[in-house]
Amino acid sequence: MGNTSFLLPLMVFVAVLCNFVVALSAESPNITTDQLALLALKAHVTHDPQNILATNWSTTTSVCNWIGVTCRSDHQRVVTLNLSDMGLIGTIPPHLGNLSFLTKLNIPNNNFQGSLPMELANLSSLQYINFDNNSFSGEIPSWFDSFTQLQSLSLYGNNFFGVIPSSLGSLSNLKELFLYDNDLKGHIPVAIGNLSNLKYLRLGQNQLSGRIPTSLFKCKELEVLFLYDTALEGSVPEEIENLTRLSDLALNGNDLTGRIPTSLFKCKELQVLILSSNALEGSVPEEIGNLTRLSYLSLYRNNLTGEIPSAIGSLTSIIRLDLSNNSLTGEIPSAVGNLSSIQHIDFRINNLAGIISSFFSISSNTCISIRHPLKENSFGIATSSILDEHPIIDII
């Protein structure tokens, strides 16, 4: 057998050379391609209240001088498009998919409509997409997984419907995912747990149902998890303790049941904890006192029972504390008087009783809502002096 091993590299070389020649002879995209794409966008804008595009996007100057457009200096191709807050009405033309070097597409606070053309899938360099507060509709395209460089995807305040595509789970660079305030339904995809760099996740104000997938607790970088005002059910998973960086958690306005897991109180970075308007039961765990960074705690409108733990006095950073509309019993712990940063306390609609002299050490700027309607709690005689001490009383 003769030595033919040199043939393979040679064939590869010839193949690569042929492709190169073909690529050169075809019309290679340049700044003119970008100009045509942007002019197509301009033509798809049906209303431009400040006449910005009409006056500024003129072919007499380079697109790199157009408002909202930035080019990279070395190769003169468009890299960012920022048309935020211009009140534009229109649709997105497929031509936008020709802006092959685009890294940032920022068009929030306009009135763009319709669904997204799949030609956008060619924008493989995109790192940042913001379509917030427009009127886009249709499904969130599964081809969003083409944006392998994507770090931030924000689509809130639109009319996207259908399910959250599982393909988003392959966007391994994603740090922010904001899909709230749309018409999304179905379950939170298990594949979201693949987003190991995710820091901010906001999916609420939709019709998402089912349980909170435990895979979510693989996203160890999560700092903000907002899943409020949707239709989630089941319990708050024990695995929440894995989110050691969590600072803001809002799961309010769902159908969550079961007890508040004590493991939650291992999330020591928590500053905001909102679990209100669910069907949580059991007591407020003693371990709540471990959350010394907490500034906002809201557990109202659940079915919590038992006494308010005196450990609540350890929440030295707390500003707003709302335990109203539960079935809490016993006396308000005197430790509440130690909450030196508090500005708003709401204990209404419980079965609390007893001494409230503890409030006297609280600043006179604090709103206290414990008293009205009187029949909902049964406080002692101190109430009238509380009213004198605290001119701002929140009686809703």
Ligand X SMILES: *[C@@H]1O[C@H](CO)[C@@H](O)[C@H](O)[C@H]1NC(C)=O
Instruction: Give me the DSSP letters along 30-86.
Output: -HHHHHHHHHHHHHTEEE-TT-HHHHH--TTS-GGGSTTEEEETTTTEEEEEE-TTS
Residue 7 beta carbon to ligand X: minimum distance, rounded to whole angstroms: 31
The sign of the torsion formed by the CA atoms of 233, 242, 270, 203 equals negative
Amino acid residing at 294: L
Residue 351 beta carbon to ligand X: minimum distance, rounded to whole angstroms: 12
* Cβ closest to ligand X, residue 194 vs residue 252: 194
* Cβ closest to ligand X, residue 11 vs residue 395: 395
* Cβ closest to ligand X, residue 27 vs residue 74: 27
* Three-class SS state of 215: helix
Residue 384 beta carbon to ligand X: minimum distance, rounded to whole angstroms: 24
* Cβ closest to ligand X, residue 10 vs residue 172: 172
Q: Among candidates 197, 191, 189, 105, which has minimal Cα distance to 155?
A: 105
Residue 264 beta carbon to ligand X: minimum distance, rounded to whole angstroms: 8
Residue 209 beta carbon to ligand X: minimum distance, rounded to whole angstroms: 19
Residue 172 beta carbon to ligand X: minimum distance, rounded to whole angstroms: 8
Cα–Cα distance, 194 to 113 (Å, whole number):
31
* Cβ closest to ligand X, residue 154 vs residue 295: 154
> What's the token pair of residue 196?
């190991």
Residue 263 beta carbon to ligand X: minimum distance, rounded to whole angstroms: 7
Residue 325 is given by DSSP the state S
Q: Among candidates 130, 127, 132, which has minimal Cα distance to 197?
A: 127
Q: Which H or E run contains 353?
A: strand 351-354
Q: Among candidates 108, 88, 82, which has minimal Cα distance to 45?
A: 88
Q: Name the site residues for ligand X (rule: CB under 6 A).
A: 27, 29-33, 36, 55-56, 58, 61, 65, 67, 82, 84, 87, 94-95, 97-98, 104, 106, 109-111, 118-119, 121-122, 133, 166-167, 169-170, 191, 194, 214, 217-218, 239, 242, 262, 265-266, 279, 281, 287, 290, 301, 303, 310, 313, 325, 334-335, 338, 349
Task: For residue 392, give every residue at least 6 positions away whose Cβ sits within 8 Å of its Cβ, in sequence order, or none.
Answer: 365, 366, 367
* Cβ closest to ligand X, residue 258 vs residue 383: 258
* Cβ closest to ligand X, residue 133 vs residue 206: 133
